[in-house]
Amino acid sequence: MQISARNQFEGVVKEVKEGVVTAEVVLELPGGVEIVAVVTIDSARRLGLAPGKPAIAVVKATDVMLGVPE
């Protein structure tokens, strides 16, 4: 599927921390930048997310805020 979300960043799974309902997944992007996602455990397992596995972080443009230094 090609998806409407404007922001898609390819990386590699660095860490998966499982709770009861949700899992926190840390993705390492090129250049060492990290992006953190909270998804359901079922999603994390269905996608086979595990350290070392390639994955893509997807963020809808309306979910991005902007800040400026004070």
Q: How far is the CB of 35 from a copy of itself (least distance, A)?
A: 5
Taking CB under 8 A as the criterion, the residue among 12, 14, 28, 49 binding a copy of itself is 49
The CA-atom distances, in angstroms, between 68 and each of 61, 63, 65 are: 18, 17, 10
Q: Is 52 in the site for a copy of itself (CB under 8 A)?
A: no
| Interacting residues with a copy of itself (CB under 8 A) | 1-9, 17-25, 27, 29-31, 33, 35-40, 42-44, 46-49, 53-70
